Chain A
C-alpha cells in the first residue's frame, strides 16, 4: 500500500484537511478570546474565571472533534465511552478536591484554626500574618537530672523557645501551672518527655508561668516571658 491511485483515495481526504483547518482557526479564536478578556480585565473576577474555564472546555471539544475525530464515523464508540468515564472520574477527583478544600478553608471554626496555628507555628495563611512566632529566636534549656531542675527560673523574650531535657531514667509529664491546677501554655497542656529525651515549647504568651512534672510535682520551676 504505497500511494493510492487518485480515484481510489478515501473520500474524506479533502474533508479531513478542511476539518483540520476549521479546527485550527476555531482553536485560534478560542485562544484569543480568553486572552483578550483576561488582559483587559473585561469581566469581574468570579465571572471571568467561569468564562475562561468554559472556553477551555469548548476549545477541548473543538480539538477532540476536529483533530482527534472522536465521535465522527461509526467505529470508535468504545473510545468515546472510555473518554466519558475518564471525564466523570476527573470531575469527581478535581471537583471534589477543590470543593472540599474550599469548604475546609471557609468552615474551620476560628477557634480551632487559632489553636492549630499556634500548635504548628504557622505564621502566614494565604498571605495574612497570623501573629504566631516566626524566624530564629533564642532557646532556653531546662535540664532535669536526679529530680533537680536547673535552672529553676528562666527569663525569656516573646517567641523564644524553652526545651525540657529529661536526663533521668524515667518519663516525665511536664505540665504548666501549679499542681494540681493545670493550665495550658502555647497550645500545650502536657509535654510527655521520655527518659533521655527532650521537648520544646514556643514561648508565645507573656507573663510569669509555672511548670512542673505531673508525675512528680516536686520537680517544678517557672519562667517569665517579656516583650
Chain B
C-alpha cells in the first residue's frame, strides 16, 4: 500500500515534468512557426541571386528526411526498451538514433557548405537569410539533441536505468520526435515547395 502511494506520487511528478517540457516544446514550435512565416513571405525575394530550385537537391533532402525519420523510429523503440528496463537495448536503439542523427547533421552541413562554396551565403538575399535561419535553427536543435543524447547515454552506462534516467530518456525522445515533425514541414515547404 505504501509502495503504491509512492508510485502515485512519482507518477504525478513525472507528469508535471512531462507537461513542463511539453510547454517548452510548444513555445519552441511557435518560434519555428515564425521562422516558417518569414520563409514563406521571403522565398521569392532572391535579389537577382539563385532561387531554391537552383540550389537544392531533392535526393539529398529525401536522404536527410529518411535518416531523421528512421532515427525517430529507433528512438521510440529505445523508449520501449527503457520502460522495460532493458539497458542493452536502450544503448543499442539510442546509439542507432545518435548515429542516424549525426548522419543527418553531416548531410545538412555538407549541403550548407556546397551552397556557400558556390558563393551564396545568408547575405546574398532575403530568401537565403530566411533559408539559413529556418534550416540552421533546426540543425542547431539537432546538434543540441545529439549532445544531450550523448550525455544521457553516458549516464545510463555509468548509473544504469534508474527511474530518473528513464524520465530523462522520455524527455529526450519527446524532443527528438518533435524535431522530426518540424523537419517534415521543412522538407515539404522548403525543399519540395521549391520545385512545385
Contacts and interface: CB of A to CB of B under 8 A. Distances in A.
**A and B from one complex:** yes
Interface of A: 1-4, 9-10, 13, 16-17, 20, 23-24, 27-28, 31, 34-35, 38-39, 45, 48-49, 52-53, 55-56, 59-60, 63-64, 67-68, 75-76, 78-79, 82-83, 85-86, 89-90, 93-94, 97-98, 101, 124, 126-127
Contact of B85 (A1, A48, A52): A1
B195 interface: yes
B80 A52 contact: no
B188 interface: yes
Given A9-B84, A24-B69, A79 B163 contact: no
Contacts of A97: 37-38, 40-41
Nearest to B15: A75
Contacts of A64: 181
Contacts, number: 133
6 contacts: A23-B76, A79-B19, A82-B23, A86-B29, A89-B33, A127-B51
A27 B76 CA distance: 14
Contact of A34 (B18, B38, B48, B188): B188
Nearest to B70: A24
Nearest to B85: A3
Interface of B: 15, 18-19, 22-23, 26, 29-30, 33-34, 36-38, 40-41, 44-48, 51, 58, 62, 65-66, 69-70, 72-73, 76-77, 80, 83-86, 160-161, 163, 174, 177-178, 180-181, 184-185, 187-189, 192-193, 195-196
A60 B29 CA distance: 13
Given A3-B84, A31-B187, 19 more contacts: A9-B84, A16-B80, A17-B77, A24-B73, A27-B69, A31-B65, A38-B192, A49-B193, A55-B188, A60-B184, A63-B72, A64-B181, A79-B19, A82-B19, A90-B29, A94-B33, A94-B36, A94-B37, A127-B51
Contacts of A86: 26, 29-30
Contacts of B184: 31, 56, 59-60, 63
